[in-house]
Amino acid sequence: MEFKNETIRDFSIEKERNAIRSALNSIEKSLPFEIPISIGRTEKFSANRFVQKNPWSPELVVSRVSYSNVHDLEETIQISKMNWGPWKERPQQERSTLLMKVAERLVSKKDFIISVCIWETGKQITEAEIEFAEAVDFCRYYATIANDQLSPKNINLLGEDNLYYYQPKGIVSSISPWNFPMAIFTGMCAAPLVVGNIVLAKPAEETSATAFEITKCFWEAGIPKEVLHFLPGLGSEIGEAMVTHPEVAVVNFTGSRDVGLSILKAASLVSPKQRMIKKVICELGGKNAMIVDADADLDVAIQSIIPSAFGFQGQKCSALSRLYVHNDCYNKLKERLIASLDGLLIGSPLDFANRIGPVIHEESYLRLLRLQKENEKFLTGITSLYPKEGFYVAPSLYEPPEDSEMWNSEFFGPILAMQKISTFAEGIQLANNSDYALTCGVISRNPKHILEAKLKIDVGNLYINRGITGAIVHRQPFGGGKLSGTGAKAGGPDYLHLFVEGKTFTENTMRQGFSRDTLQ
Amino acid sequence: MFTKQMQDDDKEILSIAKTIDASGGSLYQKFIFFISSKIIFFGFRYPKLKLQIFKFIDVLPSLEPKKIYRYFKIYLFDEDTEIPVFLKSSIHFLIHILFLDLIVSFLILKIVKIFAKLFILTDSPRNLKTTNVTTRPRTYDILGELALSPKEAKEYLKQYSELIKILPEVHPEINSKLRTNISIKCSGIETRLYPEAEEKSIQYLKEALRPILRSAMNKGIGINLDMEQYDLKSIITQTAKDLFLEPEFQFYQHFGIVVQSYLKTSKDELVLWKEYTKRRGTPITIRLVKGAYLEYERIKAEERGWTSPVFDTKRETDIKFEENVLFLLESYPYLRSAFGTHNLRSLSFILYHTTKKSISDFEIQMLYGMAGKYKASLDSMGIGLREYSPIGALLPGMAYLIRRLLENTSNQGFLYQMSLGKNLDSLMSNPKEESLNGI
């Protein structure tokens, strides 16, 4: 199998624009989406529902999501245990082929899925397009890698056969976030499935409709409903149950640091009926820095900073939030950045000219407004024009003092802090001075500094002379260390190994001094 | 297969080329031509060095003058180039022990500025002296950093209106070839251009352009919209089509646009432009160029997994250019031709066919600071020639300088081939012919 990245559509073609526009406009009349719980072949709705409002017109309800509970989970586990055997025993090639079909199925429903995602999240069209391509990439990439790299390895001697092969770990709880409901959700289901695990998918409450559309593509492509279950609901309820259930072998979590750390703790406790050590994969937050060197090309710097810090309203774990700028170009960059900030078009993603949309929900909106208020005295630049209806938070730039919280806490919003540095080395030291180690950027034309950055900056993804978000499957495996996660690299060659266990067979084939090979 | 007619054409073209090449200008211009071909030759023999020099020139404007030598050392002495190690280290040693860092830094800056000055007319519209204006028909272009905010775009707009204010009014009866002209880079005056929001982008761009068009029209100055990267082509083209049809502008004869022959779609574009001008009822000028963002387009296409919008080889581009020249000439008087080229074969091809079709209302456009010898020849042959003349501060105009240097030192380039001492006959061969000469 050969892997090729899914292409991004060329928006300068009118036909392409029209197709997505009509899909996007058609969503409103089918609102709200009623999202069921899907356990094996049964689908059901619960009395209690989570309500996701449209971020730019909060009076509209986009989705009503059924809460699944402990009993649903128990039922799911029973079905899973019965159906795991046939699924894991299928040849790898078959499962990989199925995943390839999932990719095709996704592509065939592209405009609709992207539209649902935009209505749930307020994501800008090109960002949604790129995210969708990533979802497709995950399916194809993991299918390819599983097929090519996880085949059994034989080491046979004259009288001894050795076989090393990979066995899926069992039931995997995939608990995914709302910020990349297409890409991350798909990736977190595709990887464990393709190597033969059972997946219990728990999407974020906010983006369950998008996740449900994607899950349907998996089923329609031929992934049995008995091996991929859809369990929407609250993190504190079904999420927690999925972590602590004794039959769950792997907890695959992407989300906030606090939840991640509590999952690690909860999963380390062995309950009475539990017969395995749970594995936890955590991809958590970031407090990502960029260093702008004295000799930086400021055009490149601004074109990297703006989308990295404010793209999808700063709601990416890879988003830029700490900017360290060399003395020599500090004022010039600041001035241009402020001007550029003020030119950002903010508004509903239905208008494709807008660069920045609303944040995900009221809670986020109020939290970010509070943060902005608290740090008002450090404010240096802010986008002044934006709609007052909807959850819009103006992108803003601050110059906080060194001891400010702005340098440490993850905000998940369009808030950027900047600080002067007098040497590049100081920039590296500040960039490293963080609990997180996810992404970092360097804008420099000094080859010595670039080399130094590569050697010394402690992050999972270091980007040089470009933006620090938008990792592409296979080209830029994504994930970080320190408190940013357990070191998984999604979209990279090692990711699948997290969902399998190595097994060794050794067979003595010698009988009375002869063997298969010596007899010939 | 080559028909007899085509062979005869080629013979004629060769003889025109010989005339242009031979009569070539003053001794000074010949000297410059000789020197630049030597430099180009040098640049090509040492490609790694050339790359490092270009990278160094690119970073130069951001450096404090006293740090220049430090970077010069990093880029040219520490990196792997064709300069022998002992030479690199001994030069550095000398500079170091003699404390020449500052002097060398200053010298380097001076040299680069001299180079930049060769390609940049002047640093500000204010310095355009009226005498300077009349020497040669020009199309003015304002250089600078990328416009990344409405504020920066407004500054560009201001410079354009200042330029229009400074330029003298053009007599209505003046020969089109002599009419003052301004080239406008659309992404400089409007930052909100997004392919996914084409309709809105067009609306923004139209709003930004209207005042410029209006004031230029009032003074009888021609306006040409430059073409940039492929991403923006559709927006710029549609904006031009809409604007030039608005009642206020519909009857102005001195608007122009660019068609890039390296695009696979260039011929179709021309066809569409011809239909358009028939509808408009007033001709427009098409500047036919080969294209300026070749590497960029290839890189972007690869990154996105798209088929490249440009031809892969210089030969295909050359073939398309000649086809497009013929189409343009046949489209006269709907489309008025302006040919942007420094290539001797292309020039001769154009001259041959314009003579043959007895079309005199066309122009050749060349960049300020390039091919001086050919310009002089064309002048003496009485051929109208317009210079694309950038105005802007020398150092921020570096991106432009690098584009010119790249163009001048391209291994596919005509000048390089000349500098190899290839004879004119082989350089003049028809691009359609399977040539062994490699160009």
**Full DSSP string of B167-179:** SPPPPTTS-GGGS
Please list the active-site residues of A: 283, 317
Cβ-based contacts of A340 with chain B (< 8 Å): 148-149
Which residues, 6 or more positions from A84, have their beta carbon under 8 angstroms from its beta carbon? A170, A171, A198, A227
Range B125-427 classified under CATH 3.40.640.10? no
Q: Cβ–Cβ of B305/A6 closer than 8 Å?
A: yes
Cβ-based contacts of B67 with chain A (< 8 Å): 294-295
Question: Model pTM?
Answer: 0.93
- Alpha-carbon span A6 to A130, nearest angstrom: 9
User: What is the band of B133 on the pLDDT scale with cuts at 50, 70, 90?
Assistant: low
Spatial CA neighbour of A36 closest among A189, A212, A226, A223: A212
Cα of B153 vs its chain's centroid, Å: 22
Q: Are strands A379-382 and A320-326 parallel, antiparallel or unpaired?
A: unpaired
CB-nearest to A340 from B79, B149, B204 is B149
At B322-373, the pLDDT tens digits run 999 999 999 999 999 999 998 888 999 999 999 999 999 999 999 988 888 8
- Alpha-carbon span B248 to B213, nearest angstrom: 10
Q: Cβ–Cβ of A448/B59 closer than 8 Å?
A: no
- Residue B418 clears pLDDT 70, i.e. is over it: no
- Residue B103 clears pLDDT 70, i.e. is over it: yes
Residue A263: exposed, middle, or buried by beta-carbon count in 10 A (0-12, 13-18, 19+)? buried
Give the residue from A12, A292, A385, A452 with the most B CB atoms within 10 Å of its CB, the best one to mutate.
A12
Please tell me which residue, B146 or A430, carries the higher pLDDT value.
A430
Spatial CA neighbour of B269 closest among B250, B287, B246, B294: B287
- Residue B199 clears pLDDT 90, i.e. is over it: yes
Query: How confident is the model at residue B340, as a pLDDT?
Result: 94
Cβ-based contacts of A302 with chain B (< 8 Å): 148
In a 3-state reduction of DSSP, which class is residue B356?
helix
Query: How confident is the model at residue B434, as a pLDDT?
Result: 55
- Alpha-carbon span A370 to A413, nearest angstrom: 12
What percentage of chain B exceeds 70 in pLDDT?
Answer: 93
Average pLDDT (B360-389) is 89
Average pLDDT (A328-352) is 96
Average pLDDT (B399-415) is 73
At B294-322, the pLDDT tens digits run 788 999 999 888 999 999 888 889 999 99
Domains observed in chain A: 14-284+485-504 (3.40.605.10), 288-464 (3.40.309.10)
Q: Cβ–Cβ of A353/B201 closer than 8 Å?
A: yes
Query: How confident is the model at residue B424, as a pLDDT?
Result: 74
Assess A476–B contact: CB distance below 8 Å, yes or no. no
* Cβ-contact A400, A407 below 8 angstroms: yes
Query: How confident is the model at residue B3, as a pLDDT?
Result: 67
What percentage of chain A exceeds 90 in pLDDT?
Answer: 95
| Mean pLDDT score across all residues of chain A | 96
User: What is the band of A321 on the pLDDT scale with cuts at 50, 70, 90?
Assistant: very high
Query: How confident is the model at residue B81, as a pLDDT?
Result: 86
| Range of weakest confidence among A53-62, A112-121, A457-466, B24-33 | B24-33
* Cβ-contact A168, A196 below 8 angstroms: yes
- Alpha-carbon span A288 to A311, nearest angstrom: 14
CA distance B394 to chain A (A): 16
Query: How confident is the model at residue B308, as a pLDDT?
Result: 93
- Count Cβ–Cβ pairs < 8 Å, chain A vs chain B: 97
Query: How confident is the model at residue B436, as a pLDDT?
Result: 40
Q: Which amino acid is at B281?
A: G
Query: E strands of A106-170, at which residues?
Result: 153-156, 160-168
Q: Are strands A436-437 and A481-482 parallel, antiparallel or unpaired?
A: antiparallel
Query: How confident is the model at residue B7, as a pLDDT?
Result: 77
Query: How confident is the model at residue B437, as a pLDDT?
Result: 42
- Alpha-carbon span A265 to A280, nearest angstrom: 10
Residues of chain B with CATH 3.20.20.220: 125-427
Which residues, 6 or more positions from A307, have their beta carbon under 8 angstroms from its beta carbon? A467, A469
Query: How confident is the model at residue A168, as a pLDDT?
Result: 97
Query: How confident is the model at residue B439, as a pLDDT?
Result: 34
- Alpha-carbon span B4 to A368, nearest angstrom: 77
Q: Cβ–Cβ of A14/B198 closer than 8 Å?
A: yes
Cβ-based contacts of A14 with chain B (< 8 Å): 198
Cβ-based contacts of B202 with chain A (< 8 Å): none
Give bridge partners of residue B391 from the DSSP assignment. Answer: B122, B142
Average pLDDT (B2-8) is 71
- Residue B195 clears pLDDT 80, i.e. is over it: yes
Tokens of B23: 């009569």
Q: Cβ–Cβ of B63/A340 closer than 8 Å?
A: no
* Cβ-contact A463, A480 below 8 angstroms: no
φ, ψ of residue A214 in degrees (nearest 5): -70, -40
User: What is the band of B14 on the pLDDT scale with cuts at 50, 70, 90?
Assistant: confident
- Alpha-carbon span B193 to A355, nearest angstrom: 11
User: What is the band of A514 on the pLDDT scale with cuts at 50, 70, 90?
Assistant: confident
Query: How confident is the model at residue B192, as a pLDDT?
Result: 94
- Alpha-carbon span A88 to A502, nearest angstrom: 14
- Alpha-carbon span A1 to A488, nearest angstrom: 24
Q: Cβ–Cβ of A353/B145 closer than 8 Å?
A: no
- Alpha-carbon span A149 to A349, nearest angstrom: 41
If one counts every other C-beta atom within 10 angstroms of the C-beta of residue B95, the result is: 18
What ipTM does this complex have?
0.91
CA distance A344 to chain B (A): 8
Query: How confident is the model at residue B398, as a pLDDT?
Result: 79
Query: How confident is the model at residue B438, as a pLDDT?
Result: 38
- Residue B416 clears pLDDT 70, i.e. is over it: no
- Alpha-carbon span B259 to B244, nearest angstrom: 16
